[in-house]
Every structure is written in C-alpha cells, then in structure tokens.
Chains A and B, each alone.
Chain A
Amino acid sequence: MSLSHFITLSLILCAIGVYGILTRRNLIGILLSVEVILNGANINFAAFAHFKAADPTAGAIFPIFVMAVSACEMAVALAIIISMYRRKKLLDVYHLEELNG
C-alpha cells in the first residue's frame, strides 16, 4: 500500500463525484456527489499526512475540519432543498432555472 494507491483512490472518488454532479438531475443526488468529492479530497489529506509529513497530526486534523464544515454545509443545503421542495414540489435542476440572465 503506497501513496500512489491512495491518490488513485481519491482521484477515482473525485471523478465519480464530478460525474454524479454532471449527470444527476435530482438535487439530493447532486448533494451526495459533492460529498463524495469532498471525501476524495479527505483521503488525499490523510494519505499525504501519513506518508510525507514530519508531524502527521496536522494532516489528520484537516479531514476532521472538512467533515465538520461539510456537515454544516449539508445541513444548510438540505434546509434549502426542503424549503424549495415545499414551494415548488420538484427538485429537478433542469427546471430550476430562475437565475438565468
């Protein structure tokens, strides 16, 4: 198990996330995909901290930070999605285009 395995894994997760965002039409699916991308990045942090850093603690703290922030972000995003659903009765992003120019 070397560093390159972990980088490959995080890259795969990231690609899955981007693919998910680009193809999903449901907002909740997009949110899940964002979460996948973030976790791909977290793996990267942890792997570099383990293999390269002189003091691995700093690298271990970052994923925790990211998780905390993304949890908050999720809470807010879900709240927005719920209120949007209440209002529009739909979560299909193809039809949510009020912000066009």
Chain B
Amino acid sequence: MADFIFTHSYLIQAFPLLSFVIIGLGLTRANKDIVIKVALVLSALSMIYALLTALTYLVTVIGQPQLYPDRSLICFNLAWLNFSQSLTADMGIYLDPISVMMIVVISVISFLVNVYSVGYMKDDPGFNRFFPLMALFSFSMLGLVISSNILQMFVFWELVGVSSYALIGFWYEKPSAVAASKKAFVVTRFADAFFLIGILIVSFYSNSFDFKTLNSPETAALLNTNFLFGSLSVNLLTLSTLLIFAGGWGKSAMFPLHIWLPDAMEGPTPVSSIIHSATMVVAGIYLTARMFPLFAASETTLAVIQFVGAFTAVFAAVIAITQVDIKRILAFSTLSQLGYMLFSLGVAKVVADGHHGATLNPLGYSAAMYHVFTHAFFKCMLFLGAGSIIHSVHSNDIMKMGGLKTLMPKTYWSLLAACLAIGGVFPFSGFWSKDAILLAALQSGHNFTFLVGLLTGGLTAFYMFRFFFLTFHGEARSEFHDVHEDPWMTIPIVILTVPTITAGLLEHFFVSQVTVSTFSDSGHFAHPGWLPIVASVAAFCGIILAWALYGRGKVERAAVLQRAAGSLYPLVYNKFYIDEMYLFITHKIIFRCIATPIKWVDRAVVDGTINLCGWLLQLAGRGVRFAQNGQLHFYLGVTVIGLITLLFLGK
C-alpha cells in the first residue's frame, strides 16, 4: 500500500498540470461554472493525494527509523539526460521531511487560494485565464520541492519564474502590472544566472546532480580547494555555494534584490497571497535548506546567509512601518520574515569555544523550516484578508479604511489571529517558530543576530498592529459602499485560522524530525527559559506602542511623530530610495555608459560592415547587368570578337 502511494506520488504534480492543460487549452471560452469545477476538483485531488503521501510518509518513513536512517527516499526515478557515462540527469521524486512539509503546504494553500479566487475574480474578464495559470504555478512549485536533483529543480525553478511573471502581469492592460512582472522576471533571472553557474561548477567537480551526492561530505571535501583568480585566492566551495545561494537570494528577494517583491503585488491578491506564502519566495529558502549540508561546509557562505537574512529582516521591517498600502505592508513583512528564515539557516555554525561539543547546530535548520510552515499559513491568510478588504473597500490605502470591524467581523477575527501569530504572541504558531529561530541564534552564539531578530520581532508586532488598528478600529475615514463578505472568500480565511492558531503544537515534531541527517554530532545546547519571555515582551511592546499611536484608528499622534522624525520619515517611506538607486544605476550608468556605446558599435560598425558588403555586391551586379542587355547582336559580336582575340592570343 505504502509502495503504491509512493510510486504514484507524481500525481500530486500531475493534477495541477492536468488542470492547466484542460482549462488552458480547452476551456478558455467555456462557462465559468465548468472552469470552477475543473479547477477546484483537480486542485482538491492534488491536495488529497499530497496529504495521503504525507501521511504514508509519516507512518512508513518517520515511523520506521531503522529502515530509513536518513528519513528520505526516492520514490520515482527515471533517467532523463545522459550527458556522459558518469553524469546523468534524472527526473525523480525525492521525499524527505522538508519536501513532504512543502508539498502539504503548497497543495493546501493552493487549494484554498483557488477557492478564494472563485470569489475574488468573479467579475474579472480574465476569469478563465486565471485558473490555468494558478495551476501552472502550483505545478511548478510542487515540482521544485520534490525534485531529486538540482538540474530538475532548476527547470522547475524557471517554470516558477515564468508562471509568476504571467500572474503578476495578469492585468496586462495596466502598465504598472506589466512593469512589475518584468521587474520580477528580470531580477530573479539575473540571480538565476549565478545559480546556473553554481550548478555547473558543483556538478563538474562532483560528477553528479543528485542532492544526496551533492550534500555528502565527500563533495564538500572535493570542492574545498583554493584556486587563484588573478591575484586573489578563492575557495571553490565558498564560490560555488555562494553562486547557488545567489539563485535563492533573488527568488527569496533578499536585500538588495528585494525590489521586485513589493511591486509583485500588482497582480491579483490571490496571486500575491500564494507568492508570499507557499510558492516563489519560499523557493529560495527551500533551495538553501535543500543544499544546506553543502552550504554548511563553508563558513563564509553561512556568514553571508546569516548577514543577508538578518539585514533584510530588520531593513524590511523598518520600511513596513511607514507604508500605507495594505499589500505593501504585507509584502515588506514577508521580506522581513524571509530574512528570519534565512538567518536562522545561517546561524548553524557555532561561534563559541566548543564546550557545547559541536561545531554545527541543527536547530536553526529545523526552526527555519518550521517558520516556513507556520508563516505560509498566516501570511496566506493575511493576504486573503487584505484581498477581501480591498475587494469591498476598493482601495489599497489603509489611511482610507478604518472601522471595518463591525462590517467584516469574520475577516476581523481571523486577521486578529494572523496578526497575533506573525507578531509572535503566545500561543499562536508564529510565537513558537520565532522562538525556535531566536533560540537557534542564541545557542550558536550569534548574539548580535539574536538581538536583531528580537528587535525585528518587536517591529513586526508594531507594524502589523498598526495595519490592523488602522484598518478595523476607530471610524471609517472614507465612504464605503456595499461592504460585504463573500463566502467563497471568507471560508478559506476562516479555515486558515486553524493552522495559524494550532501549528504551535508541531514544534517538537519539527525540532526532532526535520533535521539535517548528516549533522550527526548534535551537541548539548543550553535552553534558556527567559527567551520566550523576552520575545513576548518585545512583541507586546510593539503591540502596545501600536495601540498607543493608532489604537482608536486615529493618525494624529502618529503624524506628530512623523513630523518630529524630519527627513528620516521620507527616507524610510521611499524605501531608502533603493528603487531610485537601481534606476539611476541602470539608466544613467549602464544604459548611458555601456549600452549606448555598444549600440553605436552595433549600428555603425557591425551594421556598416554588412551594408558595405551588400553595397559592393550590388555594384558588381550592376556591371553584370550591363552585359546582359538582351541584344542578340551584342552577344554574337562579343562572341566573335572574343573568338578572334583568343585565336590571336593563342598564336
């Protein structure tokens, strides 16, 4: 039975693909009801099969540690590309704790978002176009997480990029949406180029694409050589892992490649919801976790991951405080939470002097994956809630909202749970996962990162409740018409409160089971009892501050503070002018100093050479044409004269 389920686990992926093909090719002009039925049924089937696989996995693999010591199995494999005798790229399905966790998260969220979209996209002319693209998106992401080798992962990685491009630019008649989709595609593609180079280096040296081989200590030892790059000595392991990580850097929108994510909210809200929770941005974190044993072999790479994560966490949180667009606040909070996950992976290297008896701490890895899990649910819900608010209020600006508590009670209570979860309040899920992350940082001795995490926790609570109070409390700051709650939209939101509140129960499971199998020597780490209290205090400080400033849905007190901050406020409000810097660099420097001369060379030199060739040939042709004048006498005369000339010359 278990074997049967595992062998057919490709079905998880096949259902969304089928949905994409059926609706995308056959039902583009069909009735809405049929499209809804096909999309929901296939999405539900995929979810059911994913849950079934997860259950079987729990019973068979986790339940029998003696049979599966590294808790992983390849349940489907076929050779795809034979590059050489020793190097083959396979297509396979690889189940281990993180991939099983991800298929559950993706398929459940994808199903709920599909249900939600039925309500949200109801009046959209592109209704029939939306569902196949969503199916393609979940197909690609599911394929990405169950890939058994890095090349297969790269293929799906790019598919995720393409489908997100199509979905962000879904309303293609809006120039801002087109610009946002282009931005997302170009930025992530830029990072993917490095990823591909990294894959090439690693597979060239290890002669394999398989995650199992790549993550083995042998590969790390093989790569751990220095070579001279000019006068600079470069460690190959560090270089290749950093290159691979660069792919995740762009996909997970870490600073300074974060610019695409806040703009990606130009797409319909269900798309933002799925991008920010289960697909796309999580791919970068997932890649880092997938290649983690190899990354962990290089101290520099871990330090970079940790630094980038921690910086993005606090950077995005600071920006989120000043934003007024509801989806932008959530987008920056995603960035901040992704930073959390990333630095949690980066703190695996133990700094202290070794009395723990270990050099690597596996807790950060488990905590990051746990946070991916909990974050997916509450962030999905926050976006869905924001979507239904936007749907009723017809505005993204929280300054124009207020007083929605009585008008949208179900959304109010659900979002309260989500805000408490993301703020890290006991006993909501976010509390447990953030606590685990902070604990990991503290245990490994990265005190500065720990403090950054703590600060970010406080900031998160503050800006989430700023958003919450401004939206729901006080009095309405503009006229609302026809505010209602569509059951298609509220039901998924209400369902999502269940994992948001209860996912904390899984903490022990994640810490004990979702670990890196190659980290055998997990030493003994301290478990400070004061940590949850400190984290809660930080969260409550944020909430109380938010209440003090915005509690009654008033903005006057905040406006005073805003004036007091002087030029700091516009700096933060404009996202530290990072976008403008990019524009400056691309337009003023790259376009003007590099692209313009290259364009000149192309137009003048390359095109000129080609034109010259053509011109010379034309000239020669004109000479030949002159001889071909069609006059019989001319031909014969030339022949006779030529003959006579030859006769005389021959003498």
Contact = CB atoms under 8 A, between A and B. Distances in A.
B623 to A, nearest CB: 10
Nearest to A97: B630
Interface string B627-646: 11111110011001000000
Contact of B630 (A18, A21, A22, A99): A99
B625 interface: yes
B364 to A, nearest CB: 80
A93 B633 CA distance: 8
B165 to A, nearest CB: 53
Contact of A94 (B626, B631, B640): B631
How many chain A residues sit at the interface, stated as a range, is 10 to 19
B620 interface: no
A26 to B, nearest CB: 11
Contacts of A21: 633, 636
Contact of B624 (A18, A93, A101): A101
Interface string A59-101: 0000000000000000000000000000000000110111111
A97 to B, nearest CB: 3
B633 A101 contact: no
A101 B627 contact: yes
B632 A100 contact: no
A86 B172 CA distance: 65
Contact of B629 (A22, A30, A97): A97
Interface in B570-626: 624-626
A79 B101 CA distance: 90
Contacts of B631: 93-94, 97, 100
Most chain A CB within a 10 A radius of its CB, from B627, B630, B632, B640:
B632
B152 to A, nearest CB: 60
A44 B630 CA distance: 32
Contacts of A18: 636, 640
Contact of A93 (B627, B632, B637): B632
B628 A22 contact: no
A53 to B, nearest CB: 25
A22 B636 contact: yes
Contacts of A101: 624-630
A70 B629 CA distance: 28
A97 B625 CA distance: 13
A22 B639 CA distance: 11
Interface centre among A21, A99, A101 (most CB of B within 10 A): A101
B225 to A, nearest CB: 68
Contacts of A97: 629-631
Contacts, number: 34
A96 to B, nearest CB: 8
Contacts of B625: 100-101
Given A30-B632, A93-B632, A93-B633, A22 B640 contact: yes
A61 B323 CA distance: 109
A99 B625 CA distance: 11
B636 A99 contact: no
A78 B276 CA distance: 87
Nearest to B643: A18
Contacts of A93: 631-633
A33 B599 CA distance: 65
Interface string A4-40: 0000000000000010011000000010000000000
A100 B632 CA distance: 10
Nearest to B633: A22
Contacts of B636: 18, 21-22
B637 A22 contact: yes
A63 to B, nearest CB: 23
A99 B636 CA distance: 15
Contacts of B630: 96-101
Nearest to A25: B633
B267 to A, nearest CB: 61
A97 B630 CA distance: 4
A99 B640 contact: no
Nearest to B627: A101
A55 B321 CA distance: 118
B612 to A, nearest CB: 23
Contact of B628 (A30, A96, A100): A100
Contacts of A98: 630
Interface in B300-333: none
B442 to A, nearest CB: 89
A98 B630 CA distance: 6
A7 to B, nearest CB: 16
A21 B637 CA distance: 9
Contact of A99 (B624, B628, B633, B637): B628
Nearest to B629: A100
A40 B579 CA distance: 93
Nearest to A101: B628
A101 B631 CA distance: 11
Contacts of B627: 101
Nearest to A30: B632
A18 to B, nearest CB: 6
Contacts of A30: 632
A88 to B, nearest CB: 14
A55 B632 CA distance: 40
Contacts of A100: 625, 628-631
A94 B631 CA distance: 6
A19 B637 CA distance: 10
Contacts of B626: 101
Contacts of A99: 628, 630
Contacts of A94: 631, 633
B640 to A, nearest CB: 6
A19 to B, nearest CB: 10
Interface string B79-94: 0000000000000000
Contacts of A96: 630, 632
A94 B630 CA distance: 9
A15 to B, nearest CB: 10
A30 B629 CA distance: 19
Given A22-B636, A94-B631, 20 more contacts: A21-B633, A21-B636, A22-B633, A22-B637, A30-B632, A93-B631, A93-B632, A93-B633, A94-B633, A96-B630, A97-B630, A97-B631, A99-B628, A100-B625, A100-B629, A100-B630, A101-B624, A101-B625, A101-B627, A101-B630
Interface of B: 624-633, 636-637, 640
6 contacts: A22-B636, A30-B632, A93-B631, A97-B630, A100-B628, A101-B624
Which 7 pairs between the two chains have the least Cβ-Cβ distance?
A: A101-B628, A97-B630, A100-B630, A101-B625, A99-B630, A93-B632, A100-B629
